[in-house]
Amino acid sequence: MATSENGGEELQHRTQQSPLASQRAKEQGQASGRFAQWFPLGAKEGFSQWWAGTSPAATEHRVLSFIPHLQKPPTHHQTGSAPVSAAQLSVDLPSQPHHDEEHVTTTSINDPHGPRRWNSEMVELSGNGRALNEFSVERVGEDVENNLVMLHGYGAGLGFFYRNFEALSRATGWKIFALDLLGMGRSSRPTFKIHAKDKEGKITEAENWFIDALEEWRIKRGLDRFTLLGHSLGGYLAVAYALKYPGHLNKLILASPVGIPEDPYAVNEELPEPQDSTMANEFTQDAAETSNGIKPATADNNNFLNQRKKGEQAPKNEPPRRRIPGWISFLWEANMISPFSLVRWSGPLGPRLVSGWTSRRFSHLPQEEAQALHDYSYSLFRQRGSSEYALSYILAPGAFARSPLIQRIQGVGRQWIQAHDGPTVDGDTPPKKCHKTRSKSPAPSIVSTVQSFHSSASRQGERENGIPIIFMYGENDWMDVAGGFASEEKINQEKARILANATPEERKKDQGEAKVIIIHKAGHHVYLDGWDQFNRVMLEEMADVKRREGVR
């Protein structure tokens, strides 16, 4: 008798044509029609995918099965919200453990770099409906000396790092964690609502929504110090976390982070009124178009959000101006819709809309992997809306930040070790102790809070002595690398200012530094487009952390 796994796979292959197949046919002149050119998935295949309603757990499992030496990854069943479609295809997960927290171990026989323990788990947080989806890997028989935490970008999920887990987990003494941000991926999707009335409060509350959950997760996992990697929006939030919760990072790695450059029009723009929903836009939609006179598969042409090219075209003596259609700005500021709302509302048309992005974004990947990422993306995009609605409180139309990181980046690694209301930069004297937070997220439990501060109680009132900050950009990135170089300069200036009157011992202890790295032939998704170089750079930085921590 055939298993339900095989039945599900047969149905999937029978009813879902690869978007890349249509895309490649179009390039060969076999496709016709303007709609088919932009959204290559066929109507029949799109309807079949919508009707099947394959769960995010199944699609995540499929993506992670491409991890070398891990064809049967552990995959827990929980997902933050149910698919919109009432008609779902039940696909069994062949490697599903009997218990959600049960792990899969690869041995030295089937894993030349093993043995390694792989785990998939939903980590429950305090409050109603708050939990983070976690995927982790650690080496068996070794003490965990260091931890790496990976955060994805806007609307994505931890599965996008599938080409990085195996290589990074070869590092001895390291445990790798990948998390779905609260309200995204397969994490829980509580209702997002802003309570603050003032502009600064709205920005802080939106940032706290994500980083308070990350801090509570850290406490539950018992991590005192760790290395934090964030991509795009995840990079922005990684900076925010470092500012609000100082003393826990030994290195910060920002992969094509959003929100660094300053645009006076974004900074001075009035924020929308608090509502349950806000406007968002898929600023990570890359397309394989001409860049610098060539047409690499990973070149980024990010529609109206390609700010680098627009900045180059602007007069040098004038501030950057918004070059965005009026209707886009109106929808963004009016909190009327999000790109994922379009996918949810479009019903059977949803998979075809998603194929417009996935067919171009993953065109450089093997067809089977590209298909799995398309299925994974659609299954996530169609989930209930939650923290996707935070975007317009953080970014103005055009992907410029409301509170640019270039104004705050110098504070990373220089904060006073004490409680903070939000991700603001400390001065040279300790700030007043905060009595309340603007965030409405449930606070960690009393026991967790005591445990959190117990390890750093002796450091209360001390100031951080800097941490290394790495900026990574793709060679064809639509995110402007100039923001990374400007940040590097500002960080170095702050270090020079602080150490100007420091003692020789203080100078020796200082760890603050910054550098910019370019990933060749990569676009915005540097970890996927240039995964081989990205993994090598990461292993070098992890070895540097191990050396520094050993000295410390």
For the cut 50, the answer to whether the pLDDT of residue 167 exceeds it is: yes
Average pLDDT estimate for 402-410: 95
Q: How far apart are the first and last CA of the chain?
A: 60
Cβ atoms 423, 438 nearer than 8 A: no
Choose between 154 and 4: higher pLDDT. 154
Highest mean pLDDT among 2-6, 81-85, 482-486: 482-486
pLDDT, tens digit, 9 for 90 and up, residues 70-129: 989 999 988 876 444 333 334 444 444 444 446 899 988 899 998 999 999 999 999 989
Report how far residue 518's alpha carbon sits from residue 530's, in angstroms, rounded to the nearest whole number. 10
Quick one: CA torsion of 153, 159, 161, 162, rounded to 10 degrees? -160
Closest by alpha carbon to 526, among 206, 278, 223, 298?
298
What is the three-class DSSP state of 419? coil
CA distances from 145 to 173, 175, 176 (A): 5, 8, 11
Catalytic site residue from 76, 374, 420, 524: 524
Quick one: CA torsion of 489, 494, 497, 499, rounded to 10 degrees? -110
Show the 3-state SS of 457-479.
HHHCCCECCCCEEEEEEECCCCC
Catalytic site residue from 477, 480, 510, 529: 477
Cβ atoms 415, 430 nearer than 8 A: no
Structure tokens of 104? 């899969």
Closest by alpha carbon to 103, among 76, 130, 84?
76
Average pLDDT estimate for 240-265: 92
- Sign of the C-alpha dihedral computed for residues 17, 22, 24 and 25 taken in this order: positive
pLDDT, tens digit, 9 for 90 and up, residues 407-457: 999 999 999 999 999 999 999 988 876 654 444 555 444 333 444 444 455
For the cut 90, the answer to whether the pLDDT of residue 227 exceeds it is: yes
- Sign of the C-alpha dihedral computed for residues 249, 250, 256 and 262 taken in this order: positive
The per-residue pLDDT for 85 is 37
pLDDT bin (cut points 50, 70, 90) of residue 354 is: confident
pLDDT bin (cut points 50, 70, 90) of residue 478 is: confident
Report how far residue 493's alpha carbon sits from residue 490's, in angstroms, rounded to the nearest whole number. 5
pLDDT, tens digit, 9 for 90 and up, residues 28-61: 444 446 656 667 788 888 788 878 888 999 999 9
Q: Of the ranges 208-217, 441-450, 543-552, which one carries the lowest mean pLDDT score?
A: 441-450
Active site residue 232: yes
Cβ atoms 545, 250 nearer than 8 A: yes
Closest by alpha carbon to 359, among 348, 368, 371?
371
The per-residue pLDDT for 81 is 67
Tell whether pTM > 0.75. Answer: yes
**Percent of the chain whose predicted confidence (pLDDT) is above 90:** 53
CA distances from 400 to 144, 391, 393 (A): 39, 11, 11
pLDDT, tens digit, 9 for 90 and up, residues 5-20: 343 343 333 333 444 4
Average pLDDT estimate for 210-223: 98
The per-residue pLDDT for 14 is 33
Q: Of the ranges 29-43, 136-150, 531-545, which one carries the lowest mean pLDDT score?
A: 29-43
Active site residue 4: no
pLDDT bin (cut points 50, 70, 90) of residue 461 is: confident
CA distances from 222 to 110, 127, 149 (A): 31, 19, 13
Cβ atoms 354, 49 nearer than 8 A: no
For the cut 60, the answer to whether the pLDDT of residue 533 exceeds it is: yes
Catalytic site residue from 48, 55, 136, 232: 232
Average pLDDT estimate for 493-517: 95
The per-residue pLDDT for 319 is 41
Closest by alpha carbon to 183, among 204, 157, 201, 165?
157
pLDDT, tens digit, 9 for 90 and up, residues 264-277: 554 555 554 443 32
Average pLDDT estimate for 234-255: 98
pLDDT, tens digit, 9 for 90 and up, residues 466-477: 999 999 999 999
The per-residue pLDDT for 108 is 86
For the cut 80, the answer to whether the pLDDT of residue 497 exceeds it is: yes
**What's the one-letter identity of residue 267?**
V
The per-residue pLDDT for 279 is 28
Active site residue 420: no
For the cut 50, the answer to whether the pLDDT of residue 294 exceeds it is: no
- Sign of the C-alpha dihedral computed for residues 285, 286, 290 and 292 taken in this order: positive
Cβ atoms 516, 485 nearer than 8 A: yes
**What's the one-letter identity of residue 406?**
I
CA distances from 6 to 46, 58, 91, 433, 457 (A): 21, 13, 9, 59, 55
Average pLDDT, the chain: 79
User: Roughly what angle, to the nearest 10 degrees, separates helices 43-52 and 350-361?
Assistant: 110
Report how far residue 505's alpha carbon sits from residue 500's, in angstroms, rounded to the nearest whole number. 13
Average pLDDT estimate for 336-361: 80
Residue with token string 């779902």? 88
Cβ atoms 58, 153 nearer than 8 A: no
pLDDT bin (cut points 50, 70, 90) of residue 229 is: very high
Q: What angle do CA 6, 383, 47 make, to 5 degrees?
A: 55
The per-residue pLDDT for 94 is 43
What is the three-class DSSP state of 174? strand
Largest Cα–Cα distance in the chain? 77
The per-residue pLDDT for 102 is 60
Structure tokens of 335? 């909190």
Report how far residue 369's alpha carbon sits from residue 245's, in angstroms, rounded to the nearest whole number. 37
Choose between 365 and 313: higher pLDDT. 365
User: Roughly what angle, to the nearest 10 degrees, separates helices 19-27 and 367-381?
Assistant: 120
The per-residue pLDDT for 155 is 87
Q: Of the ranges 4-8, 187-191, 376-380, which one carries the lowest mean pLDDT score?
A: 4-8
Q: Is 309 exposed, middle or buried (0-12, 13-18, 19+ CB in 10 A)?
A: middle
